[in-house]
């Protein structure tokens, strides 16, 4: 395990590095474009990087999720770690730091669309999404509840960057 990495807020001047990292980790530019659009639309709640020797090696973006006529929630993604340092605890470091911050801020829920065998390690469950209306159901759509209380149900409204139809 690597122990010499730092997790902190992303800086505006790191946008190109973060774009390159997303493209390397996902093997295409789709996620880098989503990151740019989320920023442009003002949908970012928290954007974190993991660095080693001042080099950006990990990235996690948390965005606002609307819950129709109710208190809102949060979504996670894209999230990635540079291929040469994957499976070294950096993803876990980003998630632990991000979820602790969100919990301290009183954010009730975090949704994610991602690897079904990765996110449950951090408390995400498919069943937590059951009461919510969304077109993106399935084994890869999970959520973790950080505090009890509203919203307990409702129609989810994702940022335009994801291109998810609102009427479905
Ligand atoms: C998925 C990703 C973010 C994980 O980050 P990471 O730094 O490699 O993961 P970590 O080292 O923190 O792993 C934590 C634990 O999850 C496991 N794990 C890592 N990647 C996994 C995966 N894809 N599926 C299942 N388990 C995984 C690790 O073995 C480790 O398990 P342990 O706690 O039992 O030892 C990273 O591999 C990545 O960027 N992948 C390519 C892009 C991607 O798929 N992003 C996520 C989109 S949903």
Q: Whose CA is nearest to atom 4 of ligand 1?
A: 91
pLDDT at 166 over 90: no
pLDDT for residue 64: 96
pLDDT digits (tens, 9 = 90+) for 18-58: 999 999 999 999 999 999 999 999 999 999 999 999 999 99
CA of 150 to the centre of ligand 1 (A): 30
Mutate to test the pocket of ligand 1, among 18, 32, 86, 136 (most ligand atoms within 8 A of CB): 86
| DSSP state at residue 37 | H
How far away, in angstroms, is 137 Cα from ligand 1 center? 22
Å from CA of 148 to ligand 1 middle: 28
84 lines ligand 1 (CB under 6 A): no
pLDDT-derived band of residue 165, with 50, 70 and 90 as boundaries? confident
| Pair 27, 117: CB distance under 8 Å | no
Q: In order of start, what are the domains of the chain with their CATH numbers?
A: 6-161 (3.40.630.30)
Q: Give the separation between CA 164 and CA 4, rounded to whole angstroms.
A: 38
With H, G, I as helix, E, B as strand and everything else as coil, classify residue 85. Answer: helix
Mean pLDDT taken over the chain: 95
Q: Count CB-CB contacts under 10 A for residue 36.
A: 16
3-state secondary structure 53-73: CCEEEEEEEEEEEEECCEEEE
The H or E element that residue 4 is part of is none
Helices within 11-135 (DSSP H only): 15-26, 30-40, 90-105
pLDDT at 22: 98
The DSSP letter of residue 163 is -
Using alpha carbons, select from 90, 84, 80, 85 the residue that is nearest to residue 25.
80
**How many other CB atoms sit within 10 Å of the CB of residue 15?**
15
Question: Which pLDDT band, with edges at 50, 70 and 90, does 5 fall under?
Answer: very high
Tokens of 12: 């505006």
Residues 61, 15: contact at Cβ < 8 Å? no
pLDDT digits (tens, 9 = 90+) for 67-123: 887 888 999 999 999 999 999 999 999 999 999 999 999 999 999 999 999 999 999
What global pTM score does this model have? 0.95
31: left (phi over 0), alpha (psi -120 to 50) or beta: alpha
Judged against a pLDDT cut of 60, whether residue 168 lies above it is answered with no
């Amino acid at each position: 395990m690597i122990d010499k990495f730092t997790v902190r807020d992303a800086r505006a001047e790191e946008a190109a590095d973060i774009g390159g990292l997303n493209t390397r980790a996902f093997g295409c530019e789709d996620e880098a474009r989503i990151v740019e659009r989320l920023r442009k639309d003002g949908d970012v709640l928290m954007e974190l990087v993991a660095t080693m020797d001042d080099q950006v090696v990990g990235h996690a973006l948390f965005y606002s999720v609307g819950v129709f006529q109710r208190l809102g929630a949060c979504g996670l993604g894209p999230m990635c770690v540079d291929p040469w340092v994957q499976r070294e605890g950096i993803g876990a470091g980003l998630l632990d730091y991000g979820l602790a911050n969100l919990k301290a801020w009183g954010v009730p829920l975090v949704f994610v669309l991602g690897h079904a065998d990765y996110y449950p390690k951090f408390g995400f469950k498919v069943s937590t999404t059951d009461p919510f209306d969304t077109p993106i159901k399935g084994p890869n759509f999970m959520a973790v509840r950080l505090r009890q209380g509203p919203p307990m149900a409702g129609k989810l409204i994702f940022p335009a960057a994801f291109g998810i139809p609102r009427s479905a």
